[in-house]
A and B are shown apart, each in its own frame.
Chain A
Amino acid sequence: SQQGEEDPQALSIQEGENATMNCSYKTSINNLQWYRQNSGRGLVHLILIRSNEREKHSGRLRVTLDTSKKSSSLLITASRAADTASYFCASIQGAQKLVFGQGTRLTINP
Chain B
Amino acid sequence: DTEVTQTPKHLVMGMTNKKSLKCEQHMGHRAMYWYKQKAKKPPELMFVYSYEKLSINESVPSRFSPECPNSSLLNLHLHALQPEDSALYLCASSQGFISAGLNTEAFFGQGTRLTVV
Contacts and interface: CB of A to CB of B under 8 A. Distances in A.
A99 B110 contact: no
Contacts of B56: 96-97
Contact size range, B: 20 to 34
Interface string A47-71: 0100000000000000000000000
B98 A92 contact: yes
A96 B50 contact: yes
Contact size range, A: 20 to 34
Contact of B42 (A30, A48, A103): A103
- Which 5 A-B residue pairings sit nearest by Cβ, starting from the closest? A42-B108, A100-B42, A43-B108, A42-B110, A95-B99
Interface of A: 2, 30-31, 33, 35, 40-45, 48, 88, 90, 92, 95-103, 105
Residue among A40, A96, A97 with max Cβ neighbours from chain B (10 Å): A96
B107 A45 contact: yes
Interface string B86-106: 001010101001110000111
B113 interface: yes
B40 to A, nearest CB: 7
A101 B42 contact: yes
Contact of A98 (B41, B99, B106): B106
B40 A41 contact: no
Nearest to B105: A45
A39 to B, nearest CB: 10
B111 A41 contact: yes
19 contacts: A30-B104, A31-B104, A41-B110, A42-B4, A42-B108, A43-B92, A43-B106, A43-B108, A44-B108, A45-B105, A45-B106, A48-B104, A92-B104, A96-B50, A96-B55, A98-B33, A98-B92, A98-B94, A100-B42
B8 interface: no
A98 B111 contact: no
